[in-house]
A and B are shown apart, each in its own frame.
Chain A
Amino acid sequence: MSETIVGIGTRKGLWFARSEDREEWRVDGPHFLMSEVLSLLFDTRGGRTRTLVGFRSSHWGPSLQHSDDLGATWVEHPDGSIRFPDDTDTALKATWQLVADPHDGDVVWAGTEPQGLWRSEDAGETFELNRGLWEHPHRPEWGEGFGGGAIHTVLPSPATPDSMLVAMSTGGVYNTRDGGATWEPGNTGIRAYFMPHNEYPEFGQCVHKVARDSATSTRLYAQNHRGVYRSDDDGVTWTSIEEGLPTNFGMTAVAHPGRGDTVWLVPIASDGERIPPGAQLQTQRTDDAGATWRTQTTGLPSRSYTNVLRDAAGTDTHDQPGLYFGTRNGEVYASLDDGESYSRIAEQLPDILCVRAVTLS
């Protein structure tokens, strides 16, 4: 018997939806009540069952904690897992991203606000700042989106251990090919309409989320602040794949974990109208790497005025992957048929910031 757990990070705490059959769900929580839960990782490598959570209290600051018993107890490092070194004269604001390294079973990566990339060699208990990115000469020109300036996407290459992509809003995409020693911007082809003097700058783009194709590791998809793009050269150059979409605006992008060329987006009408297109909550799925898109609405509400934030969508690790996303009005939807139909598995929660799922056997 397997159990699927959907971690639901909200503006006021963390909940778990649990199910043995992915049909009947029970929701328990909250953990970390009154804290913004921005990042979550279920780490099942090497026989562990570790839940890592990055959150912040508006009063008491950021924290990163882990549980090895699925939330029954939590552990916090006494000195803080992520602390900026003294010479940076910087304080951590929040951890926005937690990612398991595909090559080393003890390595976890974290992306933070302000824009820092961190590496842990002890499965997320302590982290070290990546100096190559922190000391990048472009740093003074990186901007802050509404939520703050953070490394919100961390994508280590599953094929090449020394390659990784990170993304930020604004700032855009940066790549390393030498294990993080040096970083180069990778934004060629991504339009920055909000910089009218130079709409195709080397960096400064507002990339909202990047997802890596599960079959072709050098193929990536980016949901931009206006614009949807694909890269076929591991995040260096990008071409538009927005034709056929109802809108080019959105926050999230999720790649199918077992099938290449398949990606979901959750479109938003525009940057000036942050509601679903036509007030119909929907996913857009491509099965051909963005050449065509299909609208998926079955089971999703119409006359809906909510939306889905950049990390509020993910897939589980079941043989037949389930897709999950959470809305800003506290609902979580699940699909077991690649988005063809959805059912609501949680409601009446606070504003949902992140969703991650795992299936445990």
Chain B
Amino acid sequence: MSARVVLPGMLRELADGAAELPVELADAAPLAEVLDRAFEPWPILATRIRDERGEIRRHVNVFIDGEDAKRVAGVQTPVSPTSTVHVINAVSGG
């Protein structure tokens, strides 16, 4: 089974245009591990979403099956093998 990591349009060029990245999972895994695996071929994409401490950037939201990971357990939130992970830029800016 594969979880799906869905990218916002403005980041897709950093993944050769891919709209979503599959991550093979046998069992549930922490979000950090899923993102590490999804972005392994595209390290610049990884830096856009998490800082060098591994934390999700302040104005980036990551939803796991509709749940905001920051409101659950951050990058330790479990992702199931059938989950859809949406990476979305927060509604902020001027």
Q: Which residues of A contact B (CB under 8 A)?
A: 34, 57-61, 63, 76, 78-80, 83-84, 86, 89-92
Contacts and interface: CB of A to CB of B under 8 A. Distances in A.
B53 A90 contact: yes
Nearest to A77: B44
13 contacts: A34-B93, A57-B48, A58-B93, A59-B57, A59-B89, A59-B90, A59-B93, A60-B89, A63-B47, A76-B44, A78-B44, A80-B44, A92-B52
Given A59-B89, A76-B44, A89 B53 contact: yes
A86 B48 CA distance: 18
Contacts of B25: none
A208 to B, nearest CB: 24
Contacts of B60: 59-60
Interface in B73-90: 89-90
Contact of B47 (A59, A80, A89): A80
B89 to A, nearest CB: 4
B59 interface: yes
Nearest to B54: A91
B43 interface: yes
Contacts of A79: 43, 47
A58 B44 CA distance: 16
Interface string B1-41: 00000000001000000000000000000000000000000
Contact of B55 (A34, A78, A86, A91): A91
B8 to A, nearest CB: 9
Contacts of B59: 58-59
Interface of B: 11, 43-44, 47-49, 51-53, 55, 57, 59-60, 89-90, 92-93
A84 B47 CA distance: 13
B81 to A, nearest CB: 28
Contacts of B52: 80, 83-84, 86, 91-92
Contacts of A83: 52
A80 B46 CA distance: 10
A91 B93 contact: no
Given A59-B59, A60-B57, A78-B43, A91 B51 contact: yes
A120 to B, nearest CB: 17
5 nearest CB pairs, A to B: A91-B51, A60-B48, A59-B89, A78-B43, A59-B59
B60 to A, nearest CB: 6
A91 B51 CA distance: 6
A76 B13 CA distance: 14
Given A84-B52, A90-B53, A91-B55, A58 B92 contact: yes
B47 A61 contact: yes
A78 B47 CA distance: 9
A92 B50 CA distance: 11
Contacts of A76: 44
Given A59-B48, A59-B89, A79-B43, 7 more contacts: A60-B48, A60-B60, A61-B57, A79-B47, A80-B52, A86-B52, A90-B53
A85 to B, nearest CB: 9
Contacts of A60: 11, 48-49, 57, 60, 89
B45 to A, nearest CB: 9
A84 B52 CA distance: 7
B12 to A, nearest CB: 13
